[in-house]
Amino acid sequence: GAVVSQHPSRVICKSGTSVKIECRSLDFQATTMFWYRQFPKQSLMLMATSNEGSKATYEQGVEKDKFLINHASLTLSTLTVTSAHPEDSSFYICSARAVKAPSPGEQYFGPGTRLTVT
């Protein structure tokens, strides 16, 4: 149980285009989902926190107009990178916290999406 999927796993897009990444909780409902960015050989940096039915909370320095987050249901959150540029190339990871988490702070991570902007 507690599986989180991400789609696509890899995406290549041209500079200036937009790309959407989906994060789904497959067998549980998630009130909160988190989006991280990870550069090669570096740690995970939290970009934003999304709560179902409300606006996302962005971390300092993250452009909310560039990284659009929608958490329309208890099982789906999407991250849209708008007008992508090569510097947006990175590994994007989502995690989800269950409505009824067995342990405080329990978060389940997706397998990540590798975005390459050419």
Partner 1 sequence: AQTVTQSQPEMSVQEAETVTLSCTYDTSENNYYLFWYKQPPSRQMILVIRQEAYKQQNATENRFSVNFQKAAKSFSLKISDSQLGDTAMYFCAFMKQFVQGAQKLVFGQGTRLTINP
Residues in touch with partner 1 (CB under 8 A): 31-32, 34, 38, 41-46, 49, 51, 91, 93, 95, 97, 103-105, 107, 109, 111-112
List the one residue out of 118, 94, 91 whose CA is nearest residue 10.
Answer: 91
Q: How far apart are CB 12 and partner 1 at their closest, in Å?
A: 17
Q: Which is nearer to partner 1, 42 or 73 (CB)?
A: 42
Q: Would you state the structure tokens that stand for residue 50, as one six-digit string?
A: 């999304």
Q: How far apart are CB 118 and partner 1 at their closest, in Å?
A: 21
List the one residue out of 29, 31, 77, 24 whose CA is nearest residue 51.
Answer: 31
